[in-house]
Amino acid sequence: MKTFKMGGIHLKEYKFSAGIQIQTASIPQQAIIPLGHYLGGPSLPVVQKGDKVKVGQMIGQASGFVSANVHASVSGVVNRIDVHLDASGYKVPSVFIDVHGDEWLETIDKSAEIKRECTLSSAEIIKRITDYGIVGLGGATFPTHVKLLPPPGKKANVLIVNGVECEPYLTCDHQLMIEKGEEILVGVTILMKAIDVKQAIVGIENNKKDAIALMQKLAKTFVGIEILPLQVQYPQGGEKQLIDATIGRQVPTGTLPIEVEAVVQNVATVFAVYEAVQKNKPLFERIVTITGKSLKNHGNFLARLGTPLANIVEQAGGVPEDTGKIVAGGPMMGRALSSLEVTVAKGTSGVLFIPTLEAARKNMQNCIRCTKCVVTCPMGLEPFLLMSQSERSMWTEMENERVMDCIECGCCSFACPSNRPLLDHIRYGKSTVGKIIRTRQAKK
Amino acid sequence: MNKLIISPSPHVHSGDSVWKNMRNVIIALVPAYLAGLYFFGLGALIISFTAMLSCVVFEYLIQRYLIKGSTSITDGSALLTGLLLSFNLPSNLPVWIVIIGSLVAIGIAKMSFGGLGNNPFNPALVGRVFLLISFPAQMTSWPKPIPFNPAYLDAVTAATPLAILKGQFSEIPSTLNLFFGNMGGSMGEVSALALLIGFVYLLIRKTISWHIPISILLTVFIFTGILHLVNRELFSVSPLFHLLTGGLMLGAIFMATDYVTSPMNPRGMLIFGFGIGIITVVIRVFGSYPEGVSFAILIMNAFTPLINTLVKPKRFGEAKKA
């Protein structure tokens, strides 16, 4: 069975919420929709206090090419535009909407019927994706239309669909494949048309055998889609690792997947594309896994953007007694939250409750040069060295040691027997070196 | 709700620790330890306990009273250094000499450089070589292997196979005896079988990789093989003999693979192992010492920082397109 070759670790899966049918999270009394939670520039509000809005109505406009539109996830009246805490720990501009009823735009097709025929042209598909605010729902939240519009001279020859969900605990993508498999595959054909490729590969890790079986059965009714089971290994869901695992191509340093003629999209993003193109539905809701060892009712909740996480957590049985850390996302790359008043954003794949005993970091010891960080690094870097250099502000050396190749997967810190905060220092180095590079390029 | 912890990702840890790795090596050494007890009896028991205890005590005293900081003896590294030091000593070595060896290993080779992780040379080997140079007579009187020997300081001695080779004055033990360990030598080095069992255990537990031991053994095998083929009279023993005698097995599997003093990526490790193999063969065949593994490893330890600087791991994206 295929997998990526360099580095990687095997994690305990803890998929407590696997197989639990998607429930609908209750609509809050006030939705607080962030305007700039995704990669790229924040969007600009196009509504103001007092405006009446319907579900699906645009409330934020993209501020450039690498940015995305934001749409109302609830109907009601705009209370104010103000800053509010998001998963990054910072307060970001958000639209506060007092909810009245659940009135959707008339143009949205609310029916459950699966539409397979797509009559739109490639350009129209991409325009729809752009207009409806579709971003990468795997967690990176990169604006999707940017991936679909490669620079001149570059063209894809394969679409790779990420059904891997390599982070422990999270099951939103898994459940989506079980319940909306056919819609996802229609979305795949739509994207294949958009970027003009004849071949699509859907990578699914082997711990989701039911999803693999179902998708393989459904794929037979489509042309050019291959369902590829993959050996379970973290971080296989990383774009570069997935491309290596599925088609054996390694994206060269400093370049994007289009360089090896591939485009990668997460299954949830693909589903959002289906809904945008076939149902005329902008992105305003997503599935959020609520999970943790001590949680009462694990679940996969379909939640509207802007729903305070506290609301959904109530439905899942409330915060467990022994909670020491609340993470938005998965345990390897998610963000620790300071409060559950943070609301669902486009990248909120899950909320994880970690008991205090597990959450506290142990004291750091000397590096014993065991090479575990080097062995596990999927990008072939030397984390122990990068941390040393970062501590000594050796930015030029760090750039030469390819620190910008780091995908921040966390394998190094995870594996280190001396509990060294390798990724913390590497991230700091990345951010400093990134600034230096941008300054250098601006001067040119 | 309790106070929430906020720290950057990752939010889980493997649970691995320095102690767990030291413990795995200690477990891997159990077969060789039992072989040592079998062939060398009471002496083996005395020197191993002396070395382990004195290493731990010296580390504790230095850390708490000289450096005046906290102690790290619970990480098991001093214990392991003591065990490995005793494996490299003849089992009839007097207790006071063993203690001096421990002091040099821990105090000079490890603590003076900054403790675990900062030492450039393998502490146990530094201790052993110091003793060899300071007490050459005691360090080259090898007890004869007698099952569960109750004698300690007055154990009957005999020449090691390599010494026999150098001096050419008696029968070389059969290959089977060499494999099981029925020969003179350091307390822990004699049984290739027991050491290989330990090697397999370490590989299964992923504590070490195969690169260093295999490159050392292969290099020694190939070069002694070439010499043997070129001039069977001058180089009369088979390459297999070289693999099974002296401290080569012990050195290749347990001493050269010391984390702190060996290179940090597979290509570097192969070069490191190759260097150790070459130097071992040169000393054994052309030098005046019968055995050269300890010196070879220490010399290559000196090259490790250079190897780490010059030899980098393979980067993602370096490979040609499929």
Residues A317-333: pLDDT tens digits? 999 999 999 999 999 99
The SS3 of residue B124 is helix
- Nearest-CA neighbor of A351 among A307, A409, A404? A307
Q: Are B189 and B85 in contact (CB under 8 A)?
A: no
pLDDT on residue A254: 87
Tell me how far apart the alpha carbons of residues B286 and B308 are, in angstroms, rounded to a whole number: 30
Tell me how far apart the alpha carbons of residues B172 and B165 are, in angstroms, rounded to a whole number: 8
pLDDT at residue B305 greater than cutoff 50: yes
Cis status of the peptide bond prior to B10, with omega within 30 of 0? yes
Across B68-80, average pLDDT: 94
User: Bridge-partner residues for B157, per DSSP?
Assistant: B143
Q: What is the pLDDT of residues B125-153, one digit of tens each?
A: 999 999 999 999 999 888 888 888 888 88
- Nearest-CA neighbor of A408 among A241, A296, A262? A241
Return the sign of the alpha-carbon dihedral for residues B225, B226, B228, B229: positive
**Exposure pattern of A254-264 as b/e (b: 16+ CB <10 Å)?**
eebbbebbbbb
Where are the domains positioned within chain B?
Answer: 19-310
Contact flag A324-B2 (C-beta cutoff 8 Å): yes
Task: Give chain B's mean pLDDT.
Answer: 92
Neighboring chain A residues of B80 at a CB cutoff of 8 Å: none
pLDDT on residue A16: 93
Where are the domains positioned within chain A?
Answer: 27-99, 122-279, 287-359, 372-443
Across B182-207, average pLDDT: 92
Residue partners of A187: CB distance under 8 A and separation at least 6:
A270, A271, A272, A273, A274, A277
Interface subset of A 87-126, CB within 8 angstroms of B: 89
Please give the DSSP secondary-structure letter assigned to residue B83: H
- Nearest-CA neighbor of A56 among A306, A283, A274? A283
Of the partner residues A323, A331, A356, the one whose CB lies closest to the CB of residue B10 = A331
Across B121-125, average pLDDT: 97
Map tokens 């010296």 to a residue. Answer: B58
pLDDT at residue B322 greater than cutoff 50: no
Neighboring chain B residues of A418 at a CB cutoff of 8 Å: 17-18, 117
Of the partner residues B14, B316, B322, the one whose CB lies closest to the CB of residue A6 = B316
Map tokens 């994007």 to a residue. Answer: A256
Q: What is the pLDDT of residues B237-284, one digit of tens each?
A: 888 888 988 899 999 999 999 999 999 999 999 999 999 999 999 999
Query: In Å, how far is B163's CA from the nearest CA of chain A?
Result: 35
Tell me how far apart the alpha carbons of residues A211 and A286 are, in angstroms, rounded to a whole number: 19
pLDDT at residue B201 greater than cutoff 90: yes
Please give the DSSP secondary-structure letter assigned to residue A116: -
Residue partners of B186: CB distance under 8 A and separation at least 6:
B87, B88, B89, B90, B91, B142, B247, B250
* Closest residue, chain B, to A425 (C-alpha): B8
| φ, ψ at A246 (rounded to 5°) | -85, -45
Which residues of chain A fall short of a pLDDT of 70? 37-39
- Nearest-CA neighbor of B148 among B43, B5, B299? B43
Contact flag A324-B16 (C-beta cutoff 8 Å): no
Query: In Å, how far is A288's CA from the nearest CA of chain B?
Result: 19
Q: What is the dihedral of CA B27, B29, B31, B34, to 10 degrees?
A: -110
Residue B321 pLDDT class (50, 70, 90 cuts): very low
**One-letter amino acid for residue B308 of the chain:** N
Residue partners of B51: CB distance under 8 A and separation at least 6:
B82, B83, B85, B86, B89, B98, B101, B102
The SS3 of residue A316 is coil
Contact flag B8-A378 (C-beta cutoff 8 Å): no
Contact flag B20-A362 (C-beta cutoff 8 Å): no
Neighboring chain A residues of B314 at a CB cutoff of 8 Å: 6, 380
For strands A200-205 and A158-163, give the pairing: parallel
Contact flag A414-B8 (C-beta cutoff 8 Å): no
- Nearest-CA neighbor of A266 among A156, A133, A164? A164
Contact flag A381-B259 (C-beta cutoff 8 Å): no
Strand order in the sheet with A158-163: A225-230, A200-205, A158-163, A262-266
Rg (CA), chain A: 21
* Closest residue, chain B, to A413 (C-alpha): B10
pLDDT at residue B220 greater than cutoff 50: yes
Q: What is B19-310's CATH number, 1.10.3430, 1.10.1060, 1.10.10, 1.10.20?
A: 1.10.3430
Map tokens 């012990």 to a residue. Answer: B250
The most distant pair of C-alpha atoms in chain A lies apart, rounded to whole Å, by: 64
**One-letter amino acid for residue A29 of the chain:** Q
pLDDT at residue B168 greater than cutoff 60: no
Contact status of A417 with chain B (Cβ, < 8 Å): yes
Q: What is the CATH number of domain A122-279?
A: 3.40.50.11540
Neighboring chain A residues of B322 at a CB cutoff of 8 Å: 247-249
Q: Which two tokens stand for residue A292?
A: 């943790």
| φ, ψ at B227 (rounded to 5°) | -60, -45
Interface subset of A 203-232, CB within 8 angstroms of B: none
- Nearest-CA neighbor of A101 among A125, A83, A77? A77
pLDDT on residue A238: 94
- Write out the H or E segment, with its range, that includes residue A97: strand A91-99
pLDDT on residue B277: 96
Tell me how far apart the alpha carbons of residues A275 and A266 are, in angstroms, rounded to a whole number: 14
Task: Look up the CATH architecture of domain A27-99.
Answer: Beta Barrel (2.40)
Name the class of domain A287-359. alpha beta
pLDDT on residue A229: 97
| Chain B contact probe: residue of A366, A373, A386, A423 with most B CBs at under 10 A | A366
Q: What is the pLDDT of residues B7-41, one digit of tens each?
A: 999 999 999 999 999 999 999 999 999 999 999 99
Neighboring chain A residues of B122 at a CB cutoff of 8 Å: none
Residue partners of A168: CB distance under 8 A and separation at least 6:
A11, A12, A13, A14, A15, A330, A331, A332, B12
Q: What is the pLDDT of residues B85-95, one digit of tens each?
A: 999 999 999 99
Contact status of B234 with chain A (Cβ, < 8 Å): no
Tell me how far apart the alpha carbons of residues B99 and B120 are, in angstroms, rounded to a whole number: 22
First to last CA, chain A: 47
Name the residue with higher pLDDT: A67 or B84. Answer: B84
Tell me how far apart the alpha carbons of residues B125 and B132 are, in angstroms, rounded to a whole number: 10
Tell me how far apart the alpha carbons of residues B291 and B222 are, in angstroms, rounded to a whole number: 18
